[in-house]
Amino acid sequence: MKIALASDHAGFSEKEKLKPLLTELGIDYSDLGTVSEESVDYPDYAKKVAEEVAAGNVDQGLLVCGSGTGMAITANKVPGVRAAVAWSEEIARLARQHNDANVLALGARTTPEGDIPKIVRAWFETAFEGGRHQSRVNKINALELQARGKAQ
């Protein structure tokens, strides 16, 4: 598995701490920034990851900012992306199992530091269940196509 990884300044430290875990899990990653705790605009980094996921260049994305919310909102603007904010292992598993989420957004300021690796592990160890959930994901995809048609 290959993923795109990014953070803003608030998530930089946590992003760096996750790299050894990703390696341990056998996940190849591309770090798309940021490179320090100097203030940056989170939409720039969420967009980079989302575009890599949507283009099929990577299997999934991982974003870390202050709350996870801003990056998830931004990533979800890119067609083909289903970004979820997870604050617990259970939410991470459900987002994968039921929603086939392909981008995980984490809040470095809102999630206890010790929980973040557990959430990431749960995310990457969980697969989409399909079945009854597939028709719901199909409806999400249809809404996206409908919205794109109106925008053109």
Residue from 93, 98, 118, 133 carrying the catalytic annotation: 98
- Gap between the Cα atoms of 70 and 151, Å rounded: 23
| Count of domains observed in the chain | 1
The pair phi, psi for residue 87, each rounded to 5°, is -120, 5
Higher local confidence (pLDDT), 146 or 124: 124
Question: Model confidence at 88, in pLDDT bands (50, 70, 90)?
Answer: very high
Question: Model confidence at 149, in pLDDT bands (50, 70, 90)?
Answer: confident
Give the mean model confidence (pLDDT) for residues 90-114: 98
Supply the CATH number for residue 110's domain.
3.40.1400.10
Residue from 65, 105, 116, 119 carrying the catalytic annotation: 65
- Gap between the Cα atoms of 81 and 75, Å rounded: 7
Q: Comparing C-alpha atoms, which of 21, 19, 24, 23 is closest to residue 7?
A: 19
pTM: 0.96
Give the mean model confidence (pLDDT) for residues 57-67: 98
Q: What amino acid occupies position 102?
A: N
Q: Is-catalytic flag, 55?
A: no
Contact yes or no for 31/63 (Cβ under 8 A): no
Contact yes or no for 32/52 (Cβ under 8 A): yes
Q: Comparing C-alpha atoms, which of 95, 103, 83 is closest to residue 126?
A: 95
Q: Is-catalytic flag, 146?
A: no
Residue 152 clears pLDDT 70, i.e. is over it: no
Domain limits for position 39: 2-151
Mean pLDDT over the full length of the chain: 96
